[in-house]
Structure 1
């Protein structure tokens, strides 16, 4: 969903944005199913063994599932704002849109890499993800500056840009949180 929403944003693809928005409920339902499985696996070592999960890792997996669901929510929010702007016939200025796409693509890459790091327990990769979050912070500040000092004076447009910017930042935060869990999981095994 994260990659799709930034593809939709870049190409102004409303059909893809609406598809991302509609997927959010499915992600919520799937999250509840996975959480139920993880809770049962934490209490039932036989089930945990069948799922190839250490019962002690169930909490880490549960946190991962929550972060994935949050990233889905943030992607759906971006989609909602895209559709809203289309409905009011407003467009994000090109220079701001370009920054949003760059930041969003970086956030989506960090997110995908952090999930990979979670399963591989790759500490150096996780630390690199945490360092790359700083680039998102710089982009976030630049987007904020351009959103408030640019040509756009319409409050609805500025609010939509700020909301999209905030949701990109939150996806990046999810990536950082997942990377931190990956580091903790790797060190938990050495203790």
Structure 2
């Protein structure tokens, strides 16, 4: 029987190759450092205990607004940096892989785009405390400036090939209206729907 399970020690290389292919498919010229950062993000969040937070109420995903509040109150800049990074990472992961499920929870993907982009933007402007911080600031600037594009790259990886129902196509169109994602526009055209530019759409 063919081995279809990705082994743990191959996971990093698997995600890196998948990200590289997805970026090419999305026509996104991604910096090597940014792709490696996203590789590490996917490897890290492949373990649920690293994606969720352990709180007094048990394992749960903290709301982004709560994380932002904690970051603002942090006394140490290193702690503020850590929380903002988690905020950006969670927002990007959710916007990329779970955007289609957000509407059912009454949350729009543009909220995650705005919060994640803000977190990465603040990180890119913080004073570097180490060589690692200095290198990451360029990555954070890239992620902040092209958040939707990188969310599309993650979505390309996570998307399964399946027929879409009319309801799913409507949700796809609504997501395109909110994000202006070129990936979503191509998906819609593939289903015979030509999305037209509208005012108020995020770029």
| TM value normalised by structure 2 | 0.39
Structure with higher RCO (Cα < 8 A, 6+ apart): 1
Which structure: greater helix fraction?
1
Q: If the length of structure 1 is used for normalisation, what is the TM-score?
A: 0.41
